[in-house]
Amino acid sequence: MQLPLSYFFAEVYLITIIILNALVERKSSSSALLFILLVGVMAALSITAEKKLLIASLTFISLMQVFYSLLNYSSTRIFLFLLLATVFFYIIKAFRFKYGDSLLKNILYVGVLHVILCFFETFTHYNPFISLLGIEAFNGDSTSSYRATGITAHPITGSVFSISIAIIALGFYNQSRNKRYLLLSTLSLVTTVLMQTRSVYVVMMCTLLILLAIKKHKKVSEIRIRIFPVLLFIFLAVIFFSISVSPNSYLYSMTFGRFSTLLDSGSFLQRSGSISFLLQYLSKKMTLATFLGNGFGSLAHYLNVNNIYFVSKDFFTVDNQYVTAFFEIGILGYMLFLILLSLILIPGFKTMHMSDISIVRMIGTPQAMCIALLFSVFFFECYDKPVVLCMLMLALAFCSSFREKYDMR
């Protein structure tokens, strides 16, 4: 099949954002982001059948930026990241619907590079790719518990990308039964462990629990959750691991050891403090900003200006996207976000309920990816991390395009 020129622009756009995500996140100027955005818009407009909806979405976000900038404060960088992610959604949806999985397979190739880099970095404590980009990555608080980052600049971002690749590869395996995809999915899960991210550990275990608990049947209505044997298996596995692995070993420190100091760590105080802050904010007198929001990036700005911190001075990270979103886009913006999610996810669940197991595998994979990513951002902020935003957009576009293809049958 001969692909149009717009396919080339889409490839450039996708690969630039994903493989160079650390550079885009940390060092790219507003001019560079605008240029990348222009390439993406050209590709999206040339192929999508939803041109009006794309233009309306970009216009709406732009009007929000103008409104917030005039009234209070709004980050240009985060605004541009949101536009990049919106265009990403329409490109993935249009190309997935018309041309199949070719673009997604290229994303898997980037996933292979990510896996290789993570294994190499774990053993050498050196990342040639990030060094080549001139980025200073975060590899943990101590050299004894070095955390890999792969193609990203932070273990959290990298682990989210890893688990996304694992789920996408599993989806390809369910369709083709090609064991190379199963191998990539398994290695991506191992890579997630190498990054030692507690929040994504929880997401990964929940995903594996669902996969282990569901017995395959021909109809979805016949699926039964055998929860007791699964919980027994996990309990015995944890006991065996605890007995056989020394508390002083590297394997223990990067798994159970990551949770042993959770309640005394700044990570816990940071997240609990941000939730307390939000509850206090909502308990005050309702204002226009409470309903419409304070602007993209305004929470960190507000905490900085008012010297409010949860762990240590001059550290104003919230690490909870939902808390941040409530403050920055307000109650109405939050409700709109939930409505848009529902319009994409709920029809997919209804389709799964009325379908045979082959359709469940096809639609269920992106649905699971959406839920995993939406759950994970409860533990960190994603709107300033392009690769995480784009993985979420990819999952949502996947859900939408799969459902539309099924509805046309």
Out of 41-45, 93-97, 221-225, 348-352, least confident range? 221-225
Model confidence pLDDT, tens digit, residues 237-255: 555 545 444 455 444 455 5
Give CA separation, 33 vs 39, 57, 200, in Å: 10, 18, 28
pLDDT attached to residue 117: 92
Give CA separation, 145 vs 116, 195, 264, 267, 299, in Å: 19, 10, 18, 16, 31
Q: What angle do CA 212, 218, 224 make, to 5 degrees?
A: 40
Mean pLDDT of 379-388: 85
Model confidence pLDDT, tens digit, residues 176-188: 788 898 898 888 8
Q: What angle do CA 208, 214, 218 make, to 5 degrees?
A: 135
Torsion of CA 385, 386, 391, 396, to 10 degrees: 100
Mean pLDDT of 135-144: 71
d(CA 83, CA 390): 11
pLDDT attached to residue 355: 57
More confident residue, 171 or 113: 113
Which residues does residue 214 pair with via DSSP β-bridges, in sequence order?
Answer: 225
d(CA 90, CA 67): 25
Say if CB 51 and CB 6 are below 8 A apart.
Answer: no
Sign of the dihedral through C-alpha 238, 162, 373, 341: negative
Give the percent of the chain with pLDDT over 90. Answer: 16
More confident residue, 334 or 276: 334
Mean pLDDT of 79-105: 84
Backbone φ and ψ of 145, nearest 5°: -125, 60
In the predicted structure, residue 359 carries a pLDDT above the cut 80: no
Mean pLDDT of 183-195: 84
Out of 66-80, 189-203, 336-350, least confident range? 189-203
Per the prediction, the chain carries an average pLDDT of 78
Say if CB 10 and CB 47 are below 8 A apart.
Answer: yes
Instruction: Quote the tokens at residue 39.
Output: 């390439």
pLDDT attached to residue 375: 82
Measured distance between the N- and C-terminal CA atoms of the chain, rounded to whole angstroms: 22
- Of 356, 372, 13, 401, nearest to 170 (Cα)? 372
Model confidence pLDDT, tens digit, residues 197-224: 766 666 767 666 655 544 444 444 444 4
Give the count of domains, the chain. Answer: 1
What is the pLDDT confidence band of residue 41, given thresholds at 50, 70 and 90?
very high
pLDDT attached to residue 269: 67
More confident residue, 111 or 7: 111
pLDDT attached to residue 175: 78
More confident residue, 307 or 198: 307
Q: How many CA atoms lie within 13 A of 318 on its CB side?
A: 28
Give CA separation, 255 vs 117, 155, 198, 389, in Å: 20, 14, 8, 26
What is the pLDDT confidence band of residue 409, given thresholds at 50, 70 and 90?
low
More confident residue, 254 or 404: 404
Say if CB 354 and CB 67 are below 8 A apart.
Answer: no
Mean pLDDT of 109-118: 91
pLDDT attached to residue 219: 47
Say if CB 136 and CB 161 are below 8 A apart.
Answer: no
Would you tell me the crossing angle of helices 321-353 and 298-305 to the nearest 10 degrees? 160
In the predicted structure, residue 149 carries a pLDDT above the cut 60: yes
Cα Rg of the chain (Å, integer): 21
Range of the domain at 319: 5-408
pTM (predicted TM-score): 0.82
Instruction: Quote the tokens at residue 320.
Output: 């909870």
In the predicted structure, residue 400 carries a pLDDT above the cut 50: yes
pLDDT attached to residue 163: 85
SS3 annotation, the chain: CCCCHHHHHHHHHHHHHHHCHHHHHHCCCHHHHHHHHHHHHHHHHHHCCCHHHHHHHHHHHHHHHHHHHHHCCCCHHHHHHHHHHHHHHHHHHHHHHHHCCHHHHHHHHHHHHHHHHHHHHHHHCCCHHHHHHCCCCCCCCCHHHCCCCCCCCCHHHHHHHHHHHHHHHHHHHHHHCCHHHHHHHHHHHHHHHHCCCHHHHHHHHHHHHHHHHECCCCEHHHCCECHHHHHHHHHHHHHHHHHHCCCCCHHHHCCCHHHHCHHHCHHHHHHHHHHHHHHHHHHCCCCHHHHHCCCCCHHHHHHHHCCCCCCCCCCCCCCCHHHHHHHHHHHHHHHHHHHHHHHHHHHHHHHHHCCEHHHHHHHHHHHHHHHHHHHHCCCCCCCCCHHHHHHHHHHHHHHHHHHHHHHHC
Mean pLDDT of 54-82: 92
d(CA 183, CA 200): 20
